[in-house]
């Protein structure tokens, strides 16, 4: 490897089309296939996020060199020694990051629930946005009152335009690239108005989509194009993930042709994927408008994804690496074999009801001083109110975190308020607070709320950091809000309006 490839000394290779058989062997060994666990998905993103790969201990390790240093794009996959592959892969990340001066914590992204349980200690996990999973048959028929608007939009498009579809082929490449540029122009206002992270994601997505168009056949993608009479107004690409699931990687339509998105999604499932049980459309990148769109198709469930980071501990160097790659690591290997730690009980998001009253009260009294903690009477009132939702995390049969959301109607529309957010002191640093916050914001956005507000104590810097990372901004300081001498920040998150046209 030459100087143009700084990863050569670490044995990392570029992702090439010729590597597909090797990748496929490792991906098909997974019993739970996330949308990210495919060669096509890896290949099209290879330049946008600077991907490299290497097989370690008979496990496929894919590295991403983004703004957060060198990381693992997903956990080591395959039949080999998982823990050994994780140790060596993280050592490579740490060595490279040390060399370039990156001081952040190395991470493993896109970890499935199944694989998460094999990490154990000393790692911590934080939830990511999970894959949306739909029943394929329901996406074909769009039956039910909750999908009536989708069904009507699809049918209006079919009636209004001379709709026809064709299997994607080389003759469609230039037309699809032109439509991709048009799609970008049509969405430019919302992209520019979004946060810097959203703009970066959208730019990288456009580049990845162009790669999929150019290499669809070599990647083994199934593609379809949609015409409304003469003009092409949509294209979509997908692949099979296991025997019973299809994965929709890409769908783009001309927003001037109302109903084209609903038509192409439904028709694509009907023509090509009616033999599958499930349709996976990927995650929402934590972009509120995209989350609202994917929720609007009423998913049957979500496939959980996690980011895993090593916990801070003694610094050591893993054996077996070249001397020039040595650098401090944040995980210490056991000197002797030891039994795997018992897996921590899974936790999941849910809504509370009256039977949870005592556990909610317990969390209130644990997390807040008594004058501020909600009483049983207040909690009972909130649980019964039609304008309030109480979001909780359940683990091992108990409520371990809560978030209460109020709604207030203004002249401009509804504003949501996160009235309280609390996590059991023994369950913190597991991503529960962030998951609850995202769930509350997504719920309000789906309902069409204009904004979300909350109050947080000035001394609670950890909560302020969580809210700011989620897009909340400080609006004003509230004197003596919690008690004399205990001020608070009022924070606010503006929500983008629900899009008029919906693309999965």
Residue 319: pLDDT over 70: no
At residue 284, the 3 state secondary structure works out as: coil
User: pTM of the predicted model, to two decimals?
Assistant: 0.64
What is the pLDDT confidence band of residue 345, given thresholds at 50, 70 and 90? low
Question: For all residues of the chain together, what is the average pLDDT?
Answer: 85
pLDDT at 198: 66
In whole angstroms, give the CA distance from residue 79 to residue 60.
9
In whole angstroms, give the CA distance from residue 119 to residue 121.
6
Residue 101: pLDDT over 80: yes
| 443-485 pLDDT, tens digit each | 888 888 899 999 998 988 888 888 888 888 999 998 888 778 8
Q: How many CA atoms lie within 13 A of 30 on its CB side?
A: 25
Tokens at residue 334, please?
């056991």
What is the pLDDT confidence band of residue 333, given thresholds at 50, 70 and 90? very low
| 206-263 pLDDT, tens digit each | 999 999 999 999 999 999 999 999 999 999 999 999 889 999 999 999 999 999 999 9
pLDDT at 501: 33
In whole angstroms, give the CA distance from residue 285 to residue 493.
17
Give percent of the chain with pLDDT exceeding 70.
87
pLDDT at 217: 96
Residue 82: pLDDT over 90: yes
Q: What mean pLDDT is predicted for residues 406-434?
A: 86
pLDDT at 371: 76
pLDDT at 289: 76
In whole angstroms, give the CA distance from residue 157 to residue 140.
15
In 414-504, DSSP assigns E strands to 414-423, 451-457, 473-483, 486-494
What is the pLDDT confidence band of residue 293, given thresholds at 50, 70 and 90? confident
What is the pLDDT confidence band of residue 495, given thresholds at 50, 70 and 90? confident
Residue 89: pLDDT over 90: yes
pLDDT at 347: 74
Residue 499: pLDDT over 70: no
Q: What mean pLDDT is predicted for residues 280-288?
A: 87
Element spanning 160, H or E: helix 148-160
Q: How many CA atoms lie within 13 A of 10 on its CB side?
A: 26
pLDDT at 355: 92
Tokens at residue 48, please?
């946008």
In whole angstroms, give the CA distance from residue 66 to residue 273.
34
Residue 3: pLDDT over 90: no
What is the pLDDT confidence band of residue 436, given thresholds at 50, 70 and 90? confident
pLDDT at 164: 96
| 157-187 pLDDT, tens digit each | 999 999 999 999 999 999 999 999 999 888 7
Residue 68: pLDDT over 90: no
Q: Are 450 and 413 in contact (CB under 8 A)?
A: yes
In whole angstroms, give the CA distance from residue 239 to residue 280.
10
Q: Are 245 and 33 in contact (CB under 8 A)?
A: yes
Rounded-to-5 percentages of helix, strand, coil across the chain = 40, 30, 35
Helices 461-469, 432-446: axis angle to 10 degrees equals 50
> How distant is the alpha carbon of residue 457 from its chain centre?
29
pLDDT at 312: 67
pLDDT at 485: 84
pLDDT at 41: 96
Residue 188: pLDDT over 60: yes
pLDDT at 431: 78
Residue 412: pLDDT over 70: yes
Long-range contacts of 463-468 (CB under 8 A, 24+ apart): 463/421, 463/433, 464/489, 464/491, 466/433, 466/434, 466/437, 467/437, 467/491
At residue 251, the 3 state secondary structure works out as: strand
Q: How many CB atoms lie within 10 A of CB 274?
A: 11
* Higher per-residue pLDDT: 371 or 118: 118
Residue 267: pLDDT over 70: yes
pLDDT at 446: 81
């Amino acid at each position: 490897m030459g100087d143009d490839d700084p990863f050569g000394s670490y044995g990392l290779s570029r992702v090439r089309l010729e590597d597909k058989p090797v990748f496929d062997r490792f991906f098909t060994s997974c019993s739970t296939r996330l949308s990210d666990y495919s060669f096509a998905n890896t290949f099209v993103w290879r330049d946008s996020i600077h991907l490299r790969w290497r097989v370690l201990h008979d496990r496929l390790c894919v590295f991403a060199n983004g703004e957060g240093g060198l990381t693992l794009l997903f956990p080591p996959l395959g039949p080999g020694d998982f823990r050994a592959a994780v140790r060596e892969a993280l050592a490579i990340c740490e060595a490279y990051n040390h060399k370039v001066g990156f001081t952040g914590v190395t991470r493993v992204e896109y970890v499935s629930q199944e694989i998460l349980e094999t990490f154990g200690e000393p790692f911590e996990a934080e939830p990511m946005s999970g894959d949306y999973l739909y029943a394929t048959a329901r996406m074909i028929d769009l039956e039910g009152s909750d999908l009536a608007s989708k069904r009507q939009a699809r049918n209006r498009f079919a009636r209004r335009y001379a709709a026809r579809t064709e299997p994607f082929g080389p003759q469609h490449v230039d037309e699809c690239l032109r439509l991709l540029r048009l799609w970008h122009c049509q969405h430019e206002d919302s992209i520019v108005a979004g946060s810097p992270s959203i703009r970066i994601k959208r730019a990288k997505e456009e580049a990845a989509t162009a790669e999929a168009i150019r290499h669809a056949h070599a990647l083994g993608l199934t593609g379809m194009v949609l015409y409304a009479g003469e003009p092409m107004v949509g294209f979509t690409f997908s692949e099979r993930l296991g025997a019973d699931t299809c994965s929709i990687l890409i769908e783009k339509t001309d927003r001037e042709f109302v109903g084209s998105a609903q038509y192409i999604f439904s028709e694509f499932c009907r023509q090509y994927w009616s033999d599958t049980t499930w349709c996976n459309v990927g995650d929402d990148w934590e972009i509120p408008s995209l989350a609202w769109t994917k929720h609007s198709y009423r998913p049957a469930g979500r496939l959980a994804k996690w980011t895993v980071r090593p916990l801070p501990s003694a610094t050591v160097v893993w054996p077996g690496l070249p001397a020039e790659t040595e650098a401090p690591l944040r995980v210490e290997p056991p000197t002797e074999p030891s039994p795997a730690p018992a897996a921590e009980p899974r936790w999941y998001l849910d809504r509370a009801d009256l039977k949870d009253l005592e556990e909610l009260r317990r969390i209130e009294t644990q997390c807040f001083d008594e004058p501020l903690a909600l009483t049983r009477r207040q909690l009972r009132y909130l649980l019964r109110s039609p304008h309030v939702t109480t979001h909780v995390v359940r683990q091992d049969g108990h409520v371990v975190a809560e978030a209460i959301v109020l709604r207030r109607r203004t002249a401009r529309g509804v504003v949501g308020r996160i009235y309280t957010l609390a996590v059991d002191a023994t369950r913190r640093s597991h991503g529960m607070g962030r998951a609850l916050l995202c769930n509350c914001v997504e719920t309000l956005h789906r309902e069409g709320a204009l904004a979300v507000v909350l109050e947080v104590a000035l001394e609670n810097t950890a909560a302020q950091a969580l809210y700011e990372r989620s897009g909340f901004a400080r609006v004003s300081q509230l004197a003596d809000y919690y008690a004399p001498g205990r001020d608070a920040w009022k924070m606010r998150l503006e929500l983008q309006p629900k899009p008029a046209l919906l693309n999965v």
